[in-house]
Structures are given as C-alpha cells and as structure tokens.
Amino acid sequence: MDASDQLTTEKEYQKLHEEVDLLKTLKHVNIVTYLGTCLEDNILSIFMEFVPGGSISSIIHRFGPLTEIVFCKYTKQILEGVAYLHSNGVVHRDIKGNNVMLMPSGVVKLIDFGCARRLAWASLSGTHSEMLKSVHGTPYWMAPEVINESGYGRKSDIWSVGCTVFEMATGKPPLASMDRIAAMFYIGAHRGLMPSLPDRFSGAAADFVHACLTRYVDF
C-alpha cells in the first residue's frame, strides 16, 4: 500500500478489509477458500486456496470454446456457488470467465470478491432486498440494471452467469464484437435484445442463456 499518502492507504486498507471480512464467512466447495492475512510494514498479503487449473477464460484462450457437455458441468457448479452466495445474502457482482477457476479434478471455484457485497435481505425471496446502486463489474457481463444504476440485487448475478455460459460456448461474451462503451449502451437500452446461442447448441442450452439474459419488469 502507498505509505506516502495516509488517506489513500486507509481507504485501500478498508476496501481490502471488507473483502477479507466477507471471504472469512464463505465456506463452499465452489468458492475459493480464504486462508489468512499478513500485514508487514505497508504490505498486506491475502492468502487464498491455490487453484492451479487457471481460469475458464484462459482455458478458452488456449484451447477454444468448450463443448456443451463440459460447459454444462461447469455451469452447474457455478450455479451452486452462486446459490450459496445468494442464500448467505452475498451478491458477487463480477461473474465472468476470468473469475471462474478450475481445479485439476474438474471442480470449479468462484474467485475475486473485490466487487462483492452483502445484502441485508428482509426475506430470502429477495422481494424486500436491499438494492445496490453503483456500477461494478465488467461491461460485457453487466446486467442492464447495473449499467443504468437503477438498483439491483441477486438477479444481476444471474445475468452475468448467462453471459459466462455464452462465453464458454462461443469463446466470447455476448456483444464482444462491439466496443465496450457501445456494448454498455446496448445492454442498458430497454429494447436491446441479447444474442442467442448459435443453432449448433441444444435447445436446453439456448433456453437457459435466453432465460438468464431476459429483462424483467422489476429491473
């Protein structure tokens, strides 16, 4: 941390402290495990479980898009991790191929909780959820309500899961041919329909992605 600017250092430390406090509470096979921290002089080290298989994005970059049978197995595990987070009142806010890591055994781990926040829900149904209104995440995987800052909760993660499945299936997230800013405007537009999976994939896979990338009236 920058020791020359105390205010900046304190803000940086506070942000890291919030992430660590959140990580301490998460224990699930599909969530990367927090091991501990060490503060020495101005260096804060965060120790995490080692996930040697690399990210889904790095695997796609090396070997190309995944087959449907493979990305279905990964998607199931991603959803189990997301379901665990949501049941504990946590929204990840940055689900994408780069933040999904793979163990040699084939177990998937969600990583990078720098954008994650805990919501104080009045009910687990999410109908009385505390809504977050700041832009976090990566444009191609962002839900419309995130871009529009209209307030969002668990559903924004589901949108990002759909984008990640699209990425695993085709090698790139939806709208990757667009400039990042143009993609944000498109996603944020109420009439902007998201692309579908190509016809070579099963109807079930296409329907799943379509369901994830559907705008609902309460967005």
Query: Which residues are marked as active site?
Result: 94
Q: At 74, which amino acid appears?
A: Y
Q: Measured between alpha carbons, how far is 84 from 102 in angstroms, rounded to an integer?
A: 18
**Burial category of 129 from C-beta neighbours within 10 Å (exposed 0-12, middle 13-18, buried 19 and up):** buried
- How many C-beta atoms surround the C-beta of residue 162 within 10 A? 25
Interatomic CA distance for residues 79 and 107, integer angstroms = 13
Distance CA 138, CA 163 (A): 11
66: its two tokens = 């995944």
| Secondary-structure breakdown of the chain: helix, strand, coil percentages, each rounded to the nearest 5 | 40, 10, 45
Q: What is the DSSP letter of 98?
A: G
